[in-house]
Amino acid sequence: MSTTATKQQPEITKWASKDGEFRRQVSSFRDFVSRDKNARFAAEPDRYHLYISWACPWAHRTAIVRQLKGLDKIIGLSVVDFLLLDKGWKFSSSEETPGAIPDNVNNANYIREIYFKANPDYEGRFTVPVLWDKKNATIVSNESSEIIRMFNEEFNDYIDEDKKSLNYYPENLRKDIDELNEWVYDTVNNGVYKSGFATKQTAYENHVYPLFKSLDRIEKILAENEYLVANTFTEADIRLWTTIVRFDPVYVGHFKCNLKTIEKDYPNILRWARQIYQKAGVADTVNMHHIKHHYYESHSQINPTGVVPVSNGPDLSKPIIKS
Ligand SMILES: N[C@@H](CCC(=O)N[C@@H](CS)C(=O)NCC(=O)O)C(=O)O
What digits encode the pLDDT tens for the residues 268-297? 999 999 999 999 999 999 999 999 999 999
CA–centroid distance, 127 to ligand 1, in Å, is 4
Q: Assess whether 147 and 200 both reside in one domain.
A: no
Say what the pLDDT of residue 195 is.
Answer: 98
Residue 15 has a pLDDT of: 66
Rounded average pLDDT over 242-263 = 98
The reply to whether 56 belongs to the active site is yes
- What pLDDT, on the 0 to 100 scale, is given for residue 291? 98
Q: Are residues 10 and 159 in the same domain?
A: yes
Compute the average pLDDT of residues 73-92: 97
**Same-domain check for residues 287 and 201:** yes
Instruction: Give the list of residues 6+ apart from residue 301 with CB closer than 8 angstroms, or none.
Output: 13, 15
What's the number of domains the chain is made of?
2
* Amino acid 50: pLDDT: 98
**Average pLDDT across the chain, whole number:** 94
Is 320 within the bounds of a domain? no
Give the 3-state secondary structure of the chain: CCHHHHCCCCCCCCCECCCCCECCCCCCCECCCECCCCCCCECCCCCEEEEECCCCHHHHHHHHHHHHCCHHHCCEEEECCCCEECCEEECCCCCCCCCCECCCCCCCCEHHHHHHHHCCCCCCCCCCCEEEECCCCEEEECCHHHHHHHHHHCCHHHCCHHHHCCCCCCHHHHHHHHHHHHHHHHHHHCHHHHHHCCCCHHHHHHHHHHHHHHHHHHHHHHHHCCCCECCECCHHHHHHHHHHHHHHHHHCCCCCCCCCCHHHHCHHHHHHHHHHHCCCCCHHHCCHHHHHHHHHHHCCCCCCCCCCCCCCCCCCCCCCCCC
Q: Is residue 156 one of the residues assigned to a domain?
A: yes
Q: Which of 138, 164, 190 is the last residue of a domain?
A: 164
Q: Which of 92-106, 286-300, 309-323 has the least mean pLDDT? A: 309-323
Residue 283 in domain: yes
User: 218 near 181, Cβ under 8 Å?
Assistant: no
CATH of the domain at 266: 1.20.1050.10
233 belongs to a structural domain: yes
Q: How confident is the model over 2-20, as a mean pLDDT?
A: 54
Place 14 in a pLDDT band, splitting at 50, 70 and 90.
Answer: low
Q: Do residue 125 and residue 182 come from a single domain?
A: no
Task: Give strand pairing partners of 78.
Answer: 51
User: Does the pLDDT at position 4 exceed 60?
Assistant: no
Statement to judge: residues 34 and 114 lie in one domain: yes
Is 143 a member of any domain?
Answer: yes
Instruction: Tell whether 157 and 179 lie within a shared domain.
Output: no
257 catalytically annotated: no
| Separation between Cα atoms, residue 263 and residue 241, nearest integer Å | 14
Does residue 1 carry a pLDDT above 70? no
Contacts of 121 (CB under 8 A, 6+ apart): none
> Looking at the structure, do residues 127 and 225 belong to the same domain, yes or no?
no
Domain-embedded: residue 314: no
Q: Confirm whether 304 is domain-assigned.
A: no
In this structure, is residue 305 part of a structural domain? Answer: no
pLDDT tens-place string over residues 129-187: 999 999 999 999 999 999 999 999 999 999 999 999 999 999 999 999 999 999 999 99
pLDDT at 19 over 60: yes
Q: Which CATH number fits the domain that encloses residue 81? A: 3.40.30.10
**C-alpha of 222 from chain center:** 22
Of 110, 122, 158, 193, which residue is the catalytic one?
Answer: 193
- Say whether both 125 and 195 belong to one domain: no
Instruction: Give the pLDDT of residue 255.
Output: 98
Judge if 68 and 212 occupy the same domain.
Answer: no
With bands split at pLDDT 50, 70 and 90, how would you rate the model's confidence at 209? very high
Check pocket membership of 56 for ligand 1, CB cut-off 6 A: yes
Question: What would the mean pLDDT of 86-101 be, rounded to a whole number?
Answer: 97
The residue whose CA is least distant from atom 14 of ligand 1 is 127
- Residue closest via CA to ligand 1's atom 9 equals 56
What pLDDT does 12 receive?
A: 45
Residue to mutate, 22, 58, 139, 292, ligand 1, most ligand atoms under 8 Å from C-beta: 58
Q: Is 21 in the pocket of ligand 1 (CB under 6 A)?
A: no
Query: Are 21 and 144 part of one and the same domain?
Result: yes
175 and 276 assigned to the same domain: yes
Domain residue limits at 216: 171-298
Q: To test the ligand 1 pocket, which listed residue (127, 151, 245) has its Cβ within 8 A of the most ligand atoms?
A: 127
Please determine, for residue 7, whether its predicted confidence score (pLDDT) is greater than 60. Answer: no
pLDDT score for 304: 97
* Residue bearing the CA closest to ligand 1, atom 11: 127
Average pLDDT, integer, range 99-108: 98
Per-residue confidence band for 9, with pLDDT thresholds at 50, 70 and 90:
very low
Residue 57 CA, ligand 1 centroid: distance in Å: 9
Of 129, 164, 199, the residue at which a domain comes to its end is 164
Assess whether the C-beta atom of 143 lies below 6 angstroms from ligand 1: yes
Domain boundary among the residues 137, 164, 191 is at 164
Residues 119 and 49 in one domain: yes
